Structure 1
Amino acid sequence: MATLVLSTVGQMVGGPIGGAVGAIVGQAIDGRLFRGAAREGPRLTELAVQTSSYGTALPKVFGTMRVAGTVIWSTDLIETRSSQRGGKGQPGTNSYNYAASFAVALSVRPILAVRRIWAEGKLLRGAAGDWKSHTGFRLHLGGEDQPVDPLIASAMGTTPAYRGIGYAVFEGMQLADFGNRIPSLTFEVVADAAAVGCGDIAAALAPEVVAAGGLPLGGFAASGASVRGVLDTLAMLDGGWWRTAGARLVRQSDTGAALGIADAGMAASGRTARRRRTVAALASVPREVAVAHHDPARDYQIGVQRVRRPGAGERIDRVELPAVVEAATAKGVAAALVARGEIERTRRQVALGVEGLAIAPGAIVALADEPGRWRVAASSVSGTMTTLTLVPIGAPAVVTGASSGRVVAAPDRTVGRTWLIAAELPGLGDRPLSAPRVSVIAAGEGAGWRQAALLYSLDDGASWTAAGATAAPATMGRIETLPAAASALLVDRRSRPVVALRRGDMTLGDADAASLARGGNLALLGDELIQFAQAEPLGGGRWALTGLYRGLRGTEAAIGTQAAGDRFALIEPDAVATIDLPLAAIGRRLRLLASGVGDLDAPAEAAVAITGASVAPPAPVHAVTETLGDGGLAIRWTRRSRGGWIWSDGVDAPLVEEAEAYRLTLTTADGMRRVIETAAPSLRLAASQRPPAGTTIAIVQQGALAASQPTRILFVEGAGR
């Protein structure tokens, strides 16, 4: 098995975010390991698209986030071939399935769990932890005692345990639903049990930061080219900024206390050369700010909130927040940035003496000769003079309202366990079968159930044969109220059986005469095939069936054999899978297993006795006896055919069998039996061969592969029944 190593995780853990904040010199803060890196914060695209590039930086995840991760290891596609035996004179078919095993790194910080997983935007794992497809999933949480994954170790030999990295492994994930390629995955990663404050995240990223609490975030993914860029992003979310305090960074908000200062640059002569105010043009600051964020109302997908101010300018800024915040919070950040840009057009420089050395950038000051509060944006020293550049602090922006837009979430339909019905039914088409056939009908507990793999055994489980998969989900249930005994020759307008469907979203409908003639509303009721014209909903998934056609396709012997709780299934062409068996299977018992996504603990199982019912001709009909004038006895009946269920041309149905042959068994009242064979649908007995009154006559058509069910009449002297 070839193995592809797609990324070297150990050398790219978190990018600069994996390191600590370096020494603080004035207002410059850079990563210790990446000195001089640009102050670039994390980007949403790093989380939304799954990568496998060498050297890709991984995020540190806080709270709960939806991330794509990075594929760090993968095998080549694993091909599996299955063969299915063809019918008599027909070639077999080979089908190919593909799977892959791979690992995806999610966070360079230990995590608690992974909840939902999306594949190509569709749910692969639901909120209840249920799977929609076979994945072979297991999760490594990133603890310091994390063991080596056994699959990766067996494929690569020596391999790291990736301690400190939360990652997922998919073993033998089936790829048929994804174009036979590894799909693009995104994961709902839980790194902390609750929301995490901006300050707590900052302190976790850099030990030099002194901060706690702050705006609570549903989730945050720290990555990017510099630690300072991430800290600035966190401060932006909180509406504050960072300032130095000795060798530490502390978070400052606009509500902090202000330090009063007086401008020392006012000389006795009254000159104001050292005091300057500038106001930038309105067009130089953003007219619109768009804030992109992970919106919890959109299943953590990216939402964008925009705020636009009136006035001159065309500049549009876009801010990417790898944070889980509500739409209103994101719009508040956008409004604050627009307002700050407008108010901070004003800049003022103030000259102080040596006392100004104690005022670091980020401090809040109040001027003795001017109202308002100011933030120190920069500081410079020349000789004994300190020059501070100040920007005004304005009132918080007011947000009127925000919307997440129309949310079209991926449907989360539970799969559940498989329900299975197996029956050897007469051929459901007009073409006669050349080998015994078992019909398989299945559905699942949940509305998300789609299919299950099938295995069958003819030797009571000693060996198993793959039989493909189930067909489309069927409508199925149980019999609550039994139908009355009736004739298969007439429409049954008296019976009103009630069936309870197995799921609330399953429904039945009516069928008019044209639809019935085309085979509509064909159903299995116990072992009897019926059609129904009307289905009346009774509530609670219960339906009453009326206008019945009974004992269809030769199943009239099952009329009246049903019991409460017996199976019911609607027979639709796309909901029936078939298994063709060798002739030697007749007389044996078939065991069937169905393994779907919801059957990991144990497969669904069914069993059926192979009697040859699928290849047997239907029982003869209209059997009568007639006493002849010479004392003999004439027995006549009408042949039927398994090759012409629809009588469309008014002539006899084709024989289908290799030869026409019948076996009559005459059983007297005292148990004496006589067997007679004939090649015509009638038999004449001489007076000397005539049976006594009370004899039961059973007529069976001998098919090429199996015999029909018997048609029985009771011989009564002077009459025939």
Structure 2
Amino acid sequence: MATLVLTAVGNVFGGPIGGAIGATLGQIIDRNLLFKPKGREGPRLTELAVQGSSYGAPIPRLFGTMRVAGSVIWATDLVEHRATSGGKGRPKVTSYSYTASFAVALSSRPILGVGRIWADGNLLRGAAGDWKSATNFRLLTGGEDQPVDPLIASAEGAALAPAHRGIAYAVFEDLALEDFGNRIPSLTFEVTADAAPVTVGAVAQAVSDGVVRDAGGSAAIDGFSAYGENARAVVAVLGQIGGCRFAPVGDAIEMRAPGVGAVATVEDAGAPRRARSIRPIETVPQSIAVAHYDPARDYQTGRQRATRPGAGRRGETVDAPAAIGAGAAKALATAMLARAEAERVRRRVTSDVAAIAVAPGDRVAIAGEDGLWRVTGATLERMAVTLDLLAERWATAPVAASSGRVLGAPDAVAGTTILHAFELPALDEALLSEPRLTIVAAGSAPGWRRAALRTSLDGGARWTAIGGSALPATLGVVAAGVPWAPATLVDRRSEILVDLAHDGMTLSGADAGALDRGANLALVGDELLQFGAADQRAARRWRLRDLLRGRRGTALADHAAGDRFVLIEAEAALTLSLAAAPGQAVQVAAEAVSDVAETSVVLTGASILPPAPVGLAFDDDADGGATIRWRRRGRSGWRWRDGADTPLGEEREHYRVTIVPTGAAARTLAVDTPVARVTAAERAAGSVGVTVAQIGTNGASPAATIVIRPHDPRL
């Protein structure tokens, strides 16, 4: 008598593995670490959620595309960086920032690349490969010729630094930790190990080093992390996911997908009625839910459920720790439930020795009967073969499913950095003694957040860090020419077409009261103006109307297409006092996560000098000369709240008047009242040019000019 006893390994509602290995075959498998009897369970959904650093922890084998938490295998201490701003009469401010360098193991088999990276649940690297925080990043894909990472070699010494060949890992060099509470964040990675989805059979064959052979036709999955302390548990999980059966073939095990494999026909010489049994429907779960990693949900856990009508209230949940879409998970749950219902029917067949070739895991048909069966056990005794069978059902109708509402981490691309620096009149009406530079920055895409700023006063030979930029500004360029208009009236004739940097920027109108309080102040070219109406004409294009021109004493001008447009908002502008003089050039650099932008500006003194006088006019004198009068303006009092004269804002009222007669030498006057006189002799030769500049505490204003025509005694 010879008996082959087969016991179940794992149990998935009737057992996809369903069978044990005979003594001889079992020893072979155990030696190959496939079915060691006592070992850690296979991967579970929770094991991919948290980055670890435990010494000796297993590193998963990755297949397909999967989101995984790696293991930190090397790290430096935090590095402190100090930046000091101020000095030369201004208080010094020292700011501190921290970076860290470390390596994270991802897979114990080679990979193709890494896509998105999450840090503490937020995107650190987007789908376009753009970084949200500053770092240097290198990926070592795990090849057998993998070199030693240069950073690790420099820190540990070339002789002590391992190459980690066969292990794919990522190296972060000087990752800025400001966004992560000055600590190394918990990282997860979207890793692509294979160019296309993989099958559970192919994964099982790779994990078992060929002990389990893929018979083909098994379910495709987007990704899988083979995580666990032995291959047996991993293969069991794969068999559960795919609904596969296992059959001994020679010195190995063949993994067969549902409906795959030849069908042998056997004769039943026993008593069919006595050998057939049906378990009560209550033994079958009323519902089966499959928990899985859903690629449509950034690989967060999804759950799909299949239910049956009828008696029973028991539900089951199956962990499928693989990247599977919602539809595939729903189909998996439906197939599991259908198999559980079908496998209520059991059958025992007694045949002659012709059936000795039929082994556990094979598919059979019974001569003269409908249906297919799966062999779960075989006994040879007294020249008769007894087969234990389960009814087989492998085909299920396709099903549709939804991943639900997806609230993934925002993945806004930063684009390129746009940087502007300019000197404005002091908008807070402070009487400054040093030039104040205004710096604004933004990106060409909505994901831009900020940049580290530096300035240089010596042509770039030395740079001074001044901290980070303010909030992203609303800025763009003028799309069409804008004519000159006076500052004394609301310009209702002109309109400005503005193309903003990206369609995430918006503008809005303002009523008269809001405009009086300073709303909708913008820099167009070098002219400050306000707009009362803003209409969106396209995704990025806006039309501005009801214009107040030449605000804060800035020069009125024509504007050409391409001139800058910057909405002036306190929260989006960084102001910096400089120990410099008008006429000096200042270079500004903005270092964002992915690029560096530079600009240069020549200080005009607009923040510390009085604006140019206005209202220049002259009267003819009886003797043929002319008397010139003008009005001064000040650095404060622009809202004119009390109806009185504009505050002087300077140590004293003083003017420099330059008279340039035709064909004669210029004459310069210094006067303390807004009045000057041109003599009859100076007018005799022709027109006379006159310029007037107010001399303020910190220097002279821009000059205002008038031309006095020759005196005509007939007028």
Displacement of 1:549 = 1.4
Q: 1:217 aligns with which of 218, 221, 227?
A: 221
**2:255 corresponding residue in structure 1:** 251
Q: 1:621 aligns with which of 614, 617, 622?
A: 614
The 3-state SS of whatever aligns with 1:618 is coil
User: Hey, what's the Cα distance between the residues in 1 that align with 2:387 and 2:174?
Assistant: 64
Distance 1:695-1:322 versus aligned 2 partners, 3 A rule: same
Displacement of 1:27 = 5.9
Distance 1:635-1:452 versus aligned 2 partners, 3 A rule: same
Displacement of 1:358 = 5.0
Distance 1:619-1:647 versus aligned 2 partners, 3 A rule: same
Distance 1:262-1:430 versus aligned 2 partners, 3 A rule: same
**1:13 corresponding residue in structure 2:** none
User: Hey, what's the Cα distance between the residues in 2 that align with 1:401 and 1:654?
Assistant: 75
The 3-state SS of whatever aligns with 2:336 is helix
**2:154 corresponding residue in structure 1:** 154
User: Hey, what's the Cα distance between the residues in 2 that align with 1:219 and 1:423?
Assistant: 53
Displacement of 1:166 = 0.9
Q: Relative to structure 2, which stretch is displaced further, 632-641 or 47-56?
A: 632-641
**1:453 corresponding residue in structure 2:** 452
Displacement of 1:385 = 8.0
Alignment deviations for residues 67-104 of structure 1 (CA, whole Å, 9 cap, x no partner): 1222222223222222222796x533332222221211
The 3-state SS of whatever aligns with 2:201 is helix
**1:17 corresponding residue in structure 2:** none
Please tell me the residue identity of whatever aligns with 2:592. G
Q: Relative to structure 2, which stretch is displaced further, 446-455 or 116-125?
A: 116-125
**1:80 corresponding residue in structure 2:** 81
Displacement of 1:228 = 2.2
Q: How does 1:549-588 map to 2 (within 5 A)?
A: 549-556=548-555, 559-560=556-557, 562-582=559-579, 584-588=580-584
**1:16 corresponding residue in structure 2:** none
**1:682 corresponding residue in structure 2:** 674
Please tell me the residue identity of whatever aligns with 2:577. D
**Contact kept? 1:24, 1:247, Cα under 8 Å:** no
Q: 1:197 aligns with which of 196, 199, 204?
A: 199
Q: How does 1:65-144 map to 2 (within 5 A)?
A: 65-85=66-86, 91-144=91-144
Normalization by structure 2: what TM-score? 0.87
Please tell me the residue identity of whatever aligns with 2:178. A
Alignment deviations for residues 179-236 of structure 1 (CA, whole Å, 9 cap, x no partner): 3332232222111112222222222222222225432222222122431222233233
The 3-state SS of whatever aligns with 2:400 is coil
User: Hey, what's the Cα distance between the residues in 2 that align with 1:651 and 1:86?
Assistant: 39
The 3-state SS of whatever aligns with 2:448 is coil
Please tell me the residue identity of whatever aligns with 2:650. E
The 3-state SS of whatever aligns with 2:232 is helix
User: Hey, what's the Cα distance between the residues in 2 that align with 1:23 and 1:51?
Assistant: 40
The 3-state SS of whatever aligns with 2:91 is coil
**Contact kept? 1:30, 1:227, Cα under 8 Å:** no
**Contact kept? 1:135, 1:170, Cα under 8 Å:** yes
The 3-state SS of whatever aligns with 1:605 is strand
**1:519 corresponding residue in structure 2:** 518
Please tell me the residue identity of whatever aligns with 1:711. A
User: Hey, what's the Cα distance between the residues in 2 that align with 1:215 and 1:42?
Assistant: 18
**Contact kept? 2:335, 2:394, Cα under 8 Å:** no
Please tell me the residue identity of whatever aligns with 1:573. A
**2:145 corresponding residue in structure 1:** 145
Q: How does 1:174-573 map to 2 (within 5 A)?
A: 174-206=176-208, 207-213=210-216, 214-255=218-259, 256-261=261-266, 279-348=278-347, 359-367=358-366, 372-379=371-378, 388-394=387-393, 396-398=395-397, 400-539=399-538, 541-556=540-555, 559-560=556-557, 562-573=559-570
Q: 1:702 aligns with which of 680, 695, 698?
A: 695
**Contact kept? 1:27, 1:361, Cα under 8 Å:** no
User: Hey, what's the Cα distance between the residues in 2 that align with 1:148 and 1:315?
Assistant: 55
Alignment deviations for residues 277-327 of structure 1 (CA, whole Å, 9 cap, x no partner): 665554444332211122233233322111122344443322222322222
The 3-state SS of whatever aligns with 2:128 is coil
**1:647 corresponding residue in structure 2:** 640
Displacement of 1:111 = 0.5
**Contact kept? 2:474, 2:506, Cα under 8 Å:** yes
**Contact kept? 1:441, 1:576, Cα under 8 Å:** yes
**2:8 corresponding residue in structure 1:** none
Aligned-pair identity in percent equals 49
The 3-state SS of whatever aligns with 2:699 is coil
Distance 1:671-1:239 versus aligned 2 partners, 3 A rule: farther
Normalization by structure 1: what TM-score? 0.86
**Contact kept? 1:23, 1:247, Cα under 8 Å:** no
Q: Relative to structure 2, which stretch is displaced further, 696-705 or 367-376?
A: 367-376
Q: Relative to structure 2, which stretch is displaced further, 468-477 or 525-534?
A: 468-477
**Contact kept? 2:42, 2:229, Cα under 8 Å:** yes
**2:13 corresponding residue in structure 1:** none
User: Hey, what's the Cα distance between the residues in 2 that align with 1:628 and 1:118?
Assistant: 80
User: Hey, what's the Cα distance between the residues in 1 that align with 2:201 and 2:328?
Assistant: 17
Displacement of 1:554 = 1.7
User: Hey, what's the Cα distance between the residues in 2 that align with 1:564 and 1:370?
Assistant: 85
Please tell me the residue identity of whatever aligns with 1:234. L
Distance 1:676-1:289 versus aligned 2 partners, 3 A rule: same
User: Hey, what's the Cα distance between the residues in 2 that align with 1:399 and 1:504?
Assistant: 41
**Contact kept? 1:87, 1:435, Cα under 8 Å:** no
Which ranges in structure 1 are unaligned for 5 or more consecutive residues?
Answer: 1-21
Displacement of 1:164 = 0.7
**Contact kept? 1:378, 1:390, Cα under 8 Å:** yes
User: Hey, what's the Cα distance between the residues in 2 that align with 1:290 and 1:27?
Assistant: 33
**Contact kept? 1:632, 1:685, Cα under 8 Å:** yes
The 3-state SS of whatever aligns with 1:91 is strand
Q: Relative to structure 2, which stretch is displaced further, 73-82 or 418-427?
A: 73-82
Distance 1:688-1:398 versus aligned 2 partners, 3 A rule: closer
Please tell me the residue identity of whatever aligns with 1:131. W
Displacement of 1:395 = 5.4
The 3-state SS of whatever aligns with 1:199 is helix
Displacement of 1:696 = 2.7
Displacement of 1:262 = 5.5
Distance 1:222-1:687 versus aligned 2 partners, 3 A rule: closer
Distance 1:402-1:598 versus aligned 2 partners, 3 A rule: same
**Contact kept? 1:197, 1:212, Cα under 8 Å:** no
Displacement of 1:470 = 2.6
User: Hey, what's the Cα distance between the residues in 1 that align with 2:39 and 2:346?
Assistant: 25
User: Hey, what's the Cα distance between the residues in 1 that align with 2:631 and 2:31?
Assistant: 95
Please tell me the residue identity of whatever aligns with 1:646. R
Distance 1:184-1:487 versus aligned 2 partners, 3 A rule: same
